[in-house]
Amino acid sequence: MNPWLLLLTGWAAMALVMAAIWAIQYRRGYAGIVDAAWALGIGALSIFFCAAAEGYEPRQVLIAAIAGFWALRLGVHLLRRVLGGPEDGRYQAMRRRWGPKTQPYLFIFFQIQAIWSVLFAAPMLIAARNGEQPLGLLDAAAVLVWALSILGESVADRQLARFRANRSNRGQVCRSGLWRYSRHPNYFFEWFHWWAYVLLGWQAPWGALTLMGPALMLVFLLKITGVPPTEAQALASRGDAYREYQRTTSVFFPWPPKQQETRS
């Protein structure tokens, strides 16, 4: 099937899905479910693209498997977070800022997420059209990158959850494990994951366009949906402790921390 037609079909499907998700949040008041829908949507689109595109079938099965597993893990993780507590502070801020226009603006916002879902699934489509046979070193390297990213993100999530579960840590900053070397190791490994599709699709037609995956994700995490709102919330809740953490610890890429200031 023509790749442009696949992208258009994927967008139409995600537009309908996001309209349904908007209707659910309208009744339930949990706008954060759009994050889970975004992740699961990318996984579903990836599987659809792999099934419909022309390429080397073993590689397509591989892409569908790793993209599907990534999306399922992230989507379930986000869904549990949404359903397990109050609405995310980002969406609470949107409701305060938009006031009576909240629902029409949220509908537009959800539809924008449908477009982003297709753009983020595009590298999987490009990789699925890679006809190089048989599977080779680039494919093996992609699996290694994927495995390391899933492992790293899972470890970071567990370390933070364990820290937060300890009541004596309330108001403190997690500096243990991977969080000693990056303020956002979970975001780093999420970004690292997208390089797997660059490796899988580099030999495909227009393979260089797979670079938009890690490029877009880096912009999103550092400038839009990841670091800025997370750090603003951390500063509001932890104050000087988090400011010291910012001074000593890399914001994104893991790096040995600077020496902490001593106070007399």
Same domain, 128 and 149: no
Residue 162 counted as domain residue: yes
CA angle 182, 185, 187 (to 5 degrees): 125
Give the Cα separation of 112 and 15 in Å (integer): 9
Residue 201 counted as domain residue: yes
Mean pLDDT by 10 residues, the chain (264 residues): 94 98 91 94 98 97 97 91 78 90 96 96 97 96 97 95 91 94 97 98 96 96 91 90 96 90 49
Domain total for the chain?
2
Give the Cα separation of 161 and 169 in Å (integer): 11
Look at residue 82 in the predicted model and tell me its pLDDT.
81
Same domain, 1 and 131: yes
Dihedral-angle region of residue 252 (phi above 0 means left; psi in -120 to 50 means alpha; beta otherwise): alpha
Look at residue 261 in the predicted model and tell me its pLDDT.
56
Range of the domain at 93: 1-135
Residue 260 counted as domain residue: no
For residues 75-87, b (16+ Cβ closer than 10 Å) or e, as one string? bebbbeebeeeeb
Cβ atoms within 10 Å of 17's Cβ, excluding its own: 19
Look at residues 128, 131, 6 and name the one whose alpha carbon lies nearest to residue 63: 128
Of 67, 102, 135, the residue that ends a domain is 135
Same domain, 118 and 180: no
Dihedral-angle region of residue 254 (phi above 0 means left; psi in -120 to 50 means alpha; beta otherwise): beta
Look at residue 133 in the predicted model and tell me its pLDDT.
95
Phi first, then psi: give them for residue 86, nearest 5 degrees: -70, 165
Of 135, 157, 185, the residue that ends a domain is 135
Segments of the chain assigned E as strands: none
Of 110, 135, 160, the residue that ends a domain is 135
CB 196 within 8 Å of CB 142: yes
**Cα-based torsion angle of the residue sequence 10, 13, 18, 19 in order, rounded to the nearest 10 degrees:** 150
Look at residue 86 in the predicted model and tell me its pLDDT.
79
Using CB atoms within 10 Å of the CB of residue 149, give its burial: 0 to 12 exposed, 13 to 18 middle, 19+ buried.
buried
Same domain, 160 and 201: yes
